[in-house]
Amino acid sequence: MKKYFLVPLIAVLVLMGSCQKKGEDTPAENTAEQHEEAATTIKEVELNPAQFAGAGIALGELSMKNLNEVIKVNGYTKLPPQNQADVSTFIPGIVTRILVNEGQYVKKGQLLAQAESTEFAKLQEEYAISKSTINYLQLEYDRQSKLREENVNSEKTFQKTQSELEIEKAKYRSLKKQLTIMNAGDQTAEQSLSIIAPIAGYIATINIKIGSQTAQQQPLFTLVDNSKLHLDLMVYEKDLPQIKIGQKVVFNLTNRDNTEIQGKIFSIGKSFENETKTIAVHADIENQHENLIPGMYVNALIHSGKQQLTALPKEAFVRADGREFVFVLEADETGSATTPPKEYHFQRIEVKTGVSELDYTQVSFLQELPKNAKIVTAGAYYLQSHLIKNESGGGGHDH
């Protein structure tokens, strides 16, 4: 009886040992799975210099941005009236020369065009006669004044000479003022009417051609000085209590390399703009950009707080398997201006993203980065496609 009892007991012990062995193998299997998961997260891409140059890759670093304590607003660039000028003349004439082109920069006082005008010639003639008459009357006044001191002439004769001199001086001042307004000064009657720039700036429009009449309601030229552009931002009534003079404003030029432009609020409107229930908030532009022109529509952020977040441009991120990644250049591979590296090695690193504003996105890394790490801020999708191509057996090299 004992003999038959031992057989099932031995079978039970063997089965227990087998289960124990399987239990001991489980940690090793878990470790292998963790390594495999890590391998899918951190991958490397290798490019030669030609591939690097052709991919349009740009490198940058983490920056601090105010992305959540902001007020989103729309607006446009505006030029103050004192930085715009319409050029016209006060008398009729015929345009004989045009010396500038649209878009050309001109200095204040620069000659823009010339015109022939009979009225201008007549005005100069009257000016010259008046100037000569004053000289004569001044001599006569001095003579009559001396005679009056000697009681040779009458008081009436002296007063008449004095009156004629004062009347002619007034006429002379008026004629000179008219010529000064027309930028003629003491020009002689044979000279053409000069049309000059009242401010420095760019020629925005030219509304004349050779033979055009100058005495028209439409200006001959329009000039703009874009160096004094500012922003007119439309702020809704609910956001107005958070707006203060001196607050920072940030906006980008869409489709113009996404250059970040900064400004500062210098004035807040005191009435609603038309029927929009918005108030105009005016902001100076601190780093003026050559691509800025009046009337450009902008999306802007007004910084209402001081919380700074680590951020990268949106182009730095790629998505794969439902996760987000960035590419980081491995250390000591930046080369120099004369000796670029022979190969560029990029690591794909998983990240977590947060709020996004004006083409920047909050980012946090799941592993520590080297100090001053060079991150791919443009061209990340090229690296991702290169990585996929390598994994599918299309050539190249990855780790």
Q: What are the structural domains of the chain?
A: 42-64+309-391 (2.40.420.20), 70-79+229-303 (2.40.30.170), 83-224 (2.40.50.100)
How far apart are the C-alpha atoms of 380 and 318, rounded to whole Å?
A: 7
Other beta carbons within 10 Å of 349: 18
Q: Any alpha helices (H) in the chain, and if so which ranges? A: 2-41, 49-54, 118-149, 155-181, 380-391
What Å distances lie between residue 106 and 30, 179, 183, 190, 356, CA to CA?
75, 22, 16, 26, 42
With the C-alpha atoms ordered 321, 327, 331, 336, is the resulting torsion angle positive or negative?
A: positive
pLDDT of residue 205: 92
What does the pLDDT profile of the chain (399 residues) look like in tens digits?
Answer: 444 444 444 444 444 454 444 444 544 444 444 444 444 456 888 888 888 888 888 888 888 887 767 888 889 899 988 899 999 887 888 899 999 999 999 999 899 999 888 888 888 888 889 999 989 999 988 888 888 777 777 778 888 888 989 999 999 888 888 887 776 555 555 568 888 899 999 999 999 999 988 876 778 999 999 888 899 999 988 888 888 899 889 887 655 556 678 899 999 988 887 777 899 999 999 877 777 888 888 888 888 876 778 888 888 999 888 889 999 988 665 555 456 677 888 989 889 888 777 778 888 888 888 778 899 988 888 888 888 887 766 554 444
Contact in structure between 312 and 351 (CB atoms under 8 Å): no
3-class DSSP state of 28: helix
Q: Are 380 and 326 in contact (CB under 8 A)?
A: yes
Identify the sign of the CA torsion 202, 205, 207, 209: positive
pLDDT of residue 112: 93
Q: Quickly count: other Cβ atoms within 10 Å of residue 327's Cβ.
A: 26
Residues sharing a CB contact under 8 Å with residue 331, sequence separation 6 or more, in sequence order: 370, 373
pTM, entire model: 0.55
Among 284, 264, 281, CA closest to 272: 281
Residues in contact with 361: Cβ distance below 8 Å, sequence separation at least 6, in sequence order: 67, 311, 312, 313, 314, 317, 353, 354, 355
Please count the CA atoms within 13 angstroms of the CA of 225 that sit on its side-chain side.
Answer: 17
How much is the pLDDT for 256?
Answer: 59
User: What single-letter amino acid sits at 363?
Assistant: V
Query: Distance between CA 229 and CA 255 in Å, rounded?
Result: 20
What's the token pair of residue 302? 């007004």
**SS3 state at 92:** coil
